[in-house]
Amino acid sequence: MSIVVLMNNDEAGKKCSEDIKARLNRQYNLHFPKFETNDIGDMSVGEVKDVLLPFINQVKKEYEGL
């Protein structure tokens, strides 16, 4: 099973991502997309479509047919 982890790029988000990675890395395939803004909520719809959606679709494609 795979999880796409979307946390903010601020200090708390980075710490949370590391915690998730440490706790779940052995049970799940974790994917952490990179994006420029500090807060995902600050991204425009266009940025989400251009940056995050292709990343999620690529992860989805990797696991098709399993």
| Burial (Cβ within 10 Å: 0-12, 13-18, ≥19) of residue 12 | exposed
Q: Which residue has tokens 């399993």?
A: 66
Question: pLDDT tens digit string along 17-44?
Answer: 999 999 999 999 999 999 889 888 999 9
Q: What is the pTM of this model?
A: 0.83
Domains in the chain: boundaries = 2-62
